[in-house]
Structure formats: C-alpha cells, structure tokens
A and B are shown apart, each in its own frame.
Chain A
Amino acid sequence: MIVAKQKPIAEIKEMLRPYQKVLILGCGTCVKTCFAGGEDEAATLGAALRLAFGQESKSIETEELTVERQCEDAFIQEAAQAVARNEAVLSLACGAGVQAMARRFAKSVLLPGVNTTFIGVLEKPGLFTEECSGCGDCDLDTFGGICPVTRCSKRLMNGPCGGSKNGKCEVSPDIDCAWQLIIDRLTALGLQGNLKRYIPAKDWRPSLAGGPRRLLREDHVI
C-alpha cells in the first residue's frame, strides 16, 4: 500500500489561508489504512482547522467527504458536487490522488494535505515500513524476497557494505541490514549460490530514472 503522513497543521493552515470554504477530501484506501487521510482523519483535521483558525477570528467553513479512491475517476465523480460548492479542495490522498483530482477538476484549486512517503507494509499495528521502490524490474527471486534496492540504504546489489554490524545498518540502529536478511534467508532456503553470483550494474530505465512511466493494456482500451 501507499503510506502517507498528514502534513503539519501550520503548513496546511498557510495553504488554506486565502480560502473561506474548503472541502477536505479523504481517500478510503491506502491513506485510510495508514491513518493519514481516511474518514476519521478528514473529520479530525476539519475540527482541528476550525479550532486553529477560530483562535485568529478567521472563519473557515469546512466540508468533509471521503471517497473510496481518489486515483480513479469513477470514485472521484462522487465528489464533483462537493468540489463545485467549495473554493478549494484539501486532498488527503497520495500524490497520485491529488493529481487525478486536479486532472478531473480543471478549475478547482487542489491542495495536498499529506506527504506521500513510500510503498510499504504494516509490519505491526502502528508501524509501517518501506518495502518497494517501484524500480520497474523486480529481482526479488535473486534476493530471497528481500529488496536491496529499497531496503539497503546504499542500494548495493552485490552484498553488504562494511558498515553492517550485528544485523543493523550504519545509517540507523532502527534499520535492519537488508543484506544480513538476504544472506540469512537465502542460506535458510539453501540458495547460497545466489550470493556468489555477480549482479551486473542495474538497468534503471524501467525506473523513474527513465522518465515518468505508463502502462498500457491494449485489451482494456476501447
């Protein structure tokens, strides 16, 4: 899922300052799961903003609405009337959702309410970890299901650097050394051969380095 974090209230306040009527639009999929922009967060943020502006005698009217997914036009459609009756939309979706909204509502001001951070998993309640960089060319078979592109701080493809100690990364004791995990797992699976193989310089063309990507499924185009 895409993991995001709500922006600081002060930053959101400055974005909203020019407007009187604002739609706070939650997204009911990824950002809901990571507590950044679902229905509950939209309601809480609305109240927080009213209280924040209320102290400076600036009145702000907020309307809160949450659609299933802001990255898909079919769901965005549900917000059309609410968008029309407000001066600006504070979208709590990921960056893709904000842009999908901007594309759909050409004349509305679209503002981001969250910082989109990473593609990750819920490791345990309340803890989300980054697992995939969307590099466009998955080699997880070679690395025992642990991604060095994302989880090694130096994106090393040929084994750990000299900073790995007690299974932790030199960058922070909170980061597991991805290569320790890879070695442990490949060893447990009896696939040590993978560890000895030289991995050539990665082709980054399928990644963002090759420019913004697109996926076309001919069979779904009418």
Chain B
Amino acid sequence: MTGTEGCDRYMSSKFEPKIHVFFCVNALDRGVFSTQDPEKAARIQSVKMPCSSMIKDIFMLKAFECGADGVMVVGCPAGRCKRVDGNIRAAKRVAWVQKLLDEIGLGGKRLVYTASSDTDAAITLLLKGLAELGPNPVKPAAQASPR
C-alpha cells in the first residue's frame, strides 16, 4: 500500500481514522495492508475475501458499528475479475450503501470502492472525506460487538 502518505496530508494530530479494508485476494497480496510502518498499519484492519462481490451491505455497516471511521472495498481492475462481474457487483453495492450512509447521516464519503490498480487515489479520497466528516460519531455504547 503506497497511498497511505495521503494520511499525513489530511489527518489532524488528534484524529487518526480507523479504516476497515475488505479486499479481494485476487486483487491484492495477502496482508498488504498490515506490512506498512507500525503506526499507520495499526489504523487499518483488513479482511480478505475470495472475491470483492462477497461484500454484503451488512458487512460494511457492521464495520462502522464496530468503530470504523471509514471503509474501503478493493476489487480487481475492470475486466479482470475471475468471476467475470464480481467487481462490478461490489462497486454497485458500495454505491448503494454510500446512499444509505448519507440517509443515516453518517455520510457516504466514509466508504469507497476501488480497483486494486487505483488504491492510492482511493485512500486519498477516503481520507479527504474523513477529514471533512471527522470521527465516526456513533458512541461506543451504541456500537455492537462483532457478531
């Protein structure tokens, strides 16, 4: 993951966003998000999936319930999904949940979908959105434990 330098540009000293990344194993190498420098890696929690299309609305919302400030879903570049249209489905599902997040008031900008070829721009965009929105406002008391 090279795009994390974007963090420095958008983060205040107080707010270090927690980001959950759901990624397709065909799109990124295993553990790519945890091999960065320890300080940054600590803010990123990644979940690998056999295909980005395995992402469900509830997974993304659960991540926010568990305290994530932002969520990123990483799929394969256009035309390179092993399951033909898994990445298209993932992108559409993310767009749907972005609308839902706007409706809830959390803000759709807390969530991004990106192809693995474009993660730098995506994380920059996500961090910019999070800088605008601030930390996840849902109080820990209301946050569920992972089920």
Contacts and interface: CB of A to CB of B under 8 A. Distances in A.
A and B are interacting partners: yes
A48 B83 CA distance: 29
B71 to A, nearest CB: 12
Interface residues of A toward B: which range?
A: 10 to 19
Contact of B104 (A40, A48, A57, A59): A48
A182 to B, nearest CB: 35
Contacts of A57: 139, 142
Give chain B's interface residue range (CB within 8 Å of chain A). Answer: 10 to 19
Contacts of B106: 51-52, 55
Contacts of A210: none
Contact of B61 (A10, A51, A59): A51
B137 A55 contact: yes
B61 A52 contact: no
A40 B56 contact: yes
A34 B139 CA distance: 33
Contact of A44 (B57, B105, B141): B57
Interface string A37-60: 000100110011011111101010
12 contacts: A9-B100, A9-B103, A40-B57, A44-B57, A50-B65, A50-B138, A50-B142, A51-B65, A53-B142, A54-B138, A55-B138, A59-B141
The 4 closest A-B pairs by CB, nearest first: A54-B142, A54-B138, A47-B61, A44-B57
